[in-house]
Amino acid sequence: MDLSPLRGRYILLAEDNPVNQEVALALLEETGLRVDVANDGVEALQKAAHNAYDLVLMDVQMPNMDGLEATHALRQLPQCASLPILAMTANAFDEDRRACLDAGMNDHVAKPVDPDSLFAALIHWMPPRGPAPVVGHGEQGDAAVSAGKEQALREALAAIDGLDLAFGLSLVRGKFATYRRLLAMFVDTHEGEVVRIRGALDAGDLDTAQRAAHSLKGSAASLGLVRIQQAAAAVEAPLKGAAEGAAAASRTALLELENELPRLLERLRQLL
């Protein structure tokens, strides 16, 4: 795929999950795109109002103001009326896609992000506007890990039950140093996540518990941590509708996550 039409273009990434931010940045900056990051819909609205972006990648579930609200607000600004806005969401149901379109978004990019699908969508919605400067981006840190050590680490990671190394690497276009860095970030970001979710459930704060489980699910999906992704999804599912008994059902599902997550984090700490 010819990615030259993306070089030098200026986009906004609205994403609250730190791990997903880094995964997306690793892909986007490799193409020569200039990327600003907004941590929620409020920040996205502020940045888009003051910068001439070529396109916005908008996560749907964010705190303070979600992607749907932010998009609707952006469409009220004259300078953003025709700005391409692409939804980024793990919700693949037709009604979720329809909600994105109804809010004013142009298209939908599924999470976890497939690099080729993302680049194709960017090129489709952001056609070239003339020669752009070539921006070189090299993979930093590869030389720091010898071939022998890297191979040993690859084998150790591949042996972890519930970690799909091939899939995780495919999401960063096979760049092992980037994947290794993102795994370390996952460990730092989600240390104590089970305690935070349980604390929110005990306090009756189902929204905070749901957001934490959703964030963990998204991070895990972006790295091929399939067992954690499934366990976090099971914790999140009862909380989405906040029906009667949701907290109890979520606590039951949390037991599996409580068993899996600390064990994975400890193993990754040992290896990384």
Please identify, among 67, 95, 125, the residue that sits at the C-terminal boundary of a domain: 125
Q: Which residue has the higher pLDDT, 243 or 65?
A: 65
Distance separating alpha carbons of residues 250 and 135, to the nearest angstrom: 47
Average pLDDT over residues 3-14: 94
Distance separating alpha carbons of residues 200 and 88, to the nearest angstrom: 26
Distance separating alpha carbons of residues 154 and 244, to the nearest angstrom: 45
* One-letter amino acid of 63: P
- 180 and 238, same domain (yes or no): yes
- Asked if residue 136 is part of any domain, the answer here is no
- Asked if residue 135 is part of any domain, the answer here is no
Give the model confidence (pLDDT) of 91-106 as tens digits: 766 778 889 999 999 9
Give the model confidence (pLDDT) of 245-266 as tens digits: 999 999 999 999 999 999 999 9
Average pLDDT over residues 5-21: 95
Give me the number of domains the chain comprises: 2
Give the model confidence (pLDDT) of 221-235 as tens digits: 999 999 999 999 999
- Asked if residue 133 is part of any domain, the answer here is no
- 222 and 259, same domain (yes or no): yes
Check which CATH number belongs to the domain holding 99 and give it.
3.40.50.2300
Q: What angle do CA 28, 32, 55 make, to 5 degrees?
A: 60
- Asked if residue 148 is part of any domain, the answer here is yes
- 229 and 114, same domain (yes or no): no
- The pLDDT score that the predictor gives to residue 149 is 87
Query: Which pLDDT band holds residue 135 (cuts at 50, 70, 90)?
Result: very low
Whether this prediction's pTM lies above 0.85 is answered by no
Average pLDDT over residues 109-133: 82
Phi-psi region of 193 (alpha: psi -120 to 50; beta: other; left: phi over 0): alpha
Domain enclosing residue 161, as ranges? 142-271
Give the model confidence (pLDDT) of 183-216 as tens digits: 999 999 999 999 999 999 999 999 999 999 999 9
Mean residue pLDDT of the chain comes to: 90
- The pLDDT score that the predictor gives to residue 128 is 63
Q: Does residue 38 carry a pLDDT above 50?
A: yes
Q: What are 177's two structure tokens?
A: 């140093």
- 231 and 259, same domain (yes or no): yes
Please identify, among 125, 157, 181, the residue that sits at the C-terminal boundary of a domain: 125
Query: Which pLDDT band holds residue 43 (cuts at 50, 70, 90)?
Result: very high
